């Protein structure tokens, strides 16, 4: 990639901090003293950058957090979009959760999977609504843009950012903390290391594509059940997982593996970091 001036919103967060380092980017986050939700002067700063990677979001699925979730994820995104200038590149991080349980009919989930309502909550809808704003305002401003619907992305946790369930599992196993898996741990996820995520962003930036929407994850080659994940982490860390299993049902997506055909075809991108190599990096 030719050197570009990049900014990452949420650049102090769990994934954002790693993406920021990858691009040697600037950071527009609350921890860095910026407020892109309500401070218009802060939002205007994005006009100074060639590439805006929007990763800031409120991930809170509690019913009582619905209003705040829409405020942050929809209005915050809208504020950014209305401050774009022609010629910029805008990358928006969405989520596989916009599909809800519509994914259940697929072995690997394509971008054509329905996003029709099937019980999704405010977080999922806030991301889907924000996607539509991205498409509208970026086209209006003549801004190249890509929406990435993230599967399970993982990275090394830090004291400031505890991370997602992969990091939580790793910490629990290393420190002998109890882990409880519902459904006997049969839920399947495809894991993608954050460095591969950043390289996908780079592939779009370097492409000649004006607009794209991509599912992104580790794909079939990097899919694993939660039970298998605990066993692998135990082997790599040489610690026996303190694990209990139950047949209790779960409400979230049970089987999610990304169909990578579109992103491979359009961007020439594939994951490079295997599950085992990636997990070694976070242990």
The pLDDT mean for the chain works out to 94
CA nearest neighbour of 11 among 70, 61, 47, 51: 51
Q: Which pLDDT band holds residue 159 (cuts at 50, 70, 90)? A: confident
In sequence order, which residues have a C-beta less than 8 Å from that of residue 13 and are 6 or more positions away?
29, 55, 56, 161
Domains in the chain: boundaries: 6-156+192-217+258-271
Is residue 209 pLDDT above 70, yes or no? yes
Q: Which pLDDT band holds residue 2 (cuts at 50, 70, 90)? A: low
Is residue 200 pLDDT above 60, yes or no? yes
Segment (H or E) for 165: helix 165-174
Q: What is the pLDDT of residue 161?
A: 83
Is residue 1 pLDDT above 60, yes or no? no
Q: Using a pLDDT cut of 70, give the percent of the chain over it.
A: 99
Q: What average pLDDT does range 148-167 have in this prediction?
A: 91
CATH code 3.40.309.10 for 6-156+192-217+258-271: no
In sequence order, which residues have a C-beta less than 8 Å from that of residue 222 and are 6 or more positions away?
190, 191, 192, 271, 274, 275
Q: What is the pLDDT of residue 254?
A: 92
Q: What is the pLDDT of residue 139?
A: 97
Least confident of 39-48, 109-118, 208-217: 39-48
57-76 pLDDT, tens digit per residue, is 999 999 999 999 999 999 99
């Amino acid at each position: 990639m030719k050197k570009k001036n990049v900014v990452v919103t949420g650049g102090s967060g769990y994934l954002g901090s790693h993406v920021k380092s990858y691009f040697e980017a600037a950071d527009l986050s609350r921890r860095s003293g910026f407020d892109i939700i309500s401070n218009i002067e802060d939002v205007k700063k994005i006009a100074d950058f060639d590439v805006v990677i929007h990763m800031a979001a409120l991930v809170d699925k509690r019913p009582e957090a619905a209003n705040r979730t829409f405020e942050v994820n929809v209005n915050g995104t809208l504020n950014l979009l209305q401050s774009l200038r022609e010629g910029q590149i805008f990358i928006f991080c969405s989520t596989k959760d916009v599909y809800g349980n519509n994914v259940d009919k697929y072995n690997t989930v394509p971008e054509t999977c329905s996003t029709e309502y099937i019980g999704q909550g405010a977080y999922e809808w806030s991301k889907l609504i924000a996607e539509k704003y991205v498409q509208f305002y970026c086209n209006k401003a003549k801004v190249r843009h890509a929406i990435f619907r993230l599967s399970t992305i993982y990275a090394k946790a830090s004291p400031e950012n505890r991370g997602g369930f992969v990091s939580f599992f790793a910490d629990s196993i290393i420190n002998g903390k109890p882990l409880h898996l519902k459904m006997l741990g049969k839920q399947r996820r495809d894991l993608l290391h954050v460095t591969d995520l950043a390289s996908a962003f780079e592939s779009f930036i370097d492409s000649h594509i004006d607009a794209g929407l991509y599912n992104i994850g580790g794909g079939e080659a990097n899919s694993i059940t939660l039970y298998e994940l605990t066993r692998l982490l135990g082997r790599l860390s040489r610690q026996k997982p303190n694990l209990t299993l139950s047949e209790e049902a779960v409400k979230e997506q049970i089987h999610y593996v990304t169909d990578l055909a579109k992103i491979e075809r359009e961007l020439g991108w594939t994951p490079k970091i295997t599950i085992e190599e990636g997990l070694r990096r976070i242990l």
